[in-house]
């Protein structure tokens, strides 16, 4: 499919938006036409041949705007490739946090009639100064692995079956 890819994100404090920006830039660097938009701003998917949706996991729940996006566009997404990512754990206990986050994302996706072609969980970020008390007492952390994020993004054109115009 030669078309435009929507990279939508649901983010409270900007960490997921920053990952979505890197995903969008990676697609564009491969010659894919891609747009970056907040999930809450997207009213329809006209003109988009594929979608990438990112949302943060907060206290075991996927961002509400990501759920609303899927609910609003479920019928359209049945005919378009979809990839999904979430930001979740700040490493504490190790592998268990990653497994818990993946289960939380899988449970969130199971609430919708969608079948993503790729799903990933990446580490999250905590900025205590931007959080309300008592969360503001937490130590700052950024567990986003930019190499893993770029690697995932680099594999999206094949998974979404999008091609650069030169390859069509």
Instruction: State the angle between helix axes of 15-29 and 146-154 in degrees (0 to 180), rounded to the nearest 10.
Output: 40
pLDDT digits (tens, 9 = 90+) for 129-156: 665 666 656 666 777 999 999 999 999 9
In DSSP notation, 98-131 reads HHHHHHHHHHHHHTSS---SEEEEE--EE-GGGS
CATH at 75: 3.40.50.360
Is this prediction's pTM over 0.75?
yes
**Residue 92: predicted pLDDT:** 60
What does the longest C-alpha to C-alpha distance in the chain come to? 54
CA-to-CA separations, 159 to 6, 116, 167, in angstroms, rounded: 14, 10, 15
**Residue 168: predicted pLDDT:** 42
Query: Pairing relation of β-strands 4-10 and 34-38?
Result: parallel
Tell me the average pLDDT across 95-101: 83
Q: What's the CA gap between 16 and 66, in Å, rounded?
A: 11
**Residue 167: predicted pLDDT:** 44
Q: Which domain holds residue 160?
A: 4-167
User: Is a pLDDT exceeding 90 seen at residue 123?
Assistant: no
pLDDT digits (tens, 9 = 90+) for 30-72: 999 999 999 999 999 999 999 999 999 877 789 999 999 999 9
- Domains in the chain, number: 1
**Residue 165: predicted pLDDT:** 61
Q: What's the CA gap between 166 and 168, in Å, rounded?
A: 6
Count of positions (residues) in the chain: 168
In DSSP notation, 13-34 reads SSHHHHHHHHHHHHHHHTT--E
């Amino acid at each position: 499919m030669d078309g435009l890819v929507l990279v939508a994100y649901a983010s409270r404090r900007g960490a997921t938006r920053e990952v979505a920006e890197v995903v969008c830039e990676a697609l564009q660097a491969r010659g894919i036409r891609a747009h970056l938009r907040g999930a809450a701003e997207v009213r329809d998917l006209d003109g988009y041949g594929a979608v990438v949706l990112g949302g943060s996991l907060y206290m075991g729940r996927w961002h509400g705007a990501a759920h609303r996006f899927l609910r609003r566009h479920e019928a359209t997404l049945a005919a378009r490739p979809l990839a999904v990512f979430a930001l979740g754990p700040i490493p504490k206990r190790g592998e268990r946090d990653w497994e818990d986050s993946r289960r939380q994302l899988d449970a969130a996706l199971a609430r919708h009639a969608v079948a993503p072609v790729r799903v990933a969980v990446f580490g999250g970020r905590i900025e205590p100064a931007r959080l309300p008390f008592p969360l503001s007492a937490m130590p700052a952390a950024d567990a986003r692995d930019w190499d893993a994020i770029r690697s995932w993004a680099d594999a999206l054109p094949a998974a979404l079956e999008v091609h650069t115009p030169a390859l069509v």
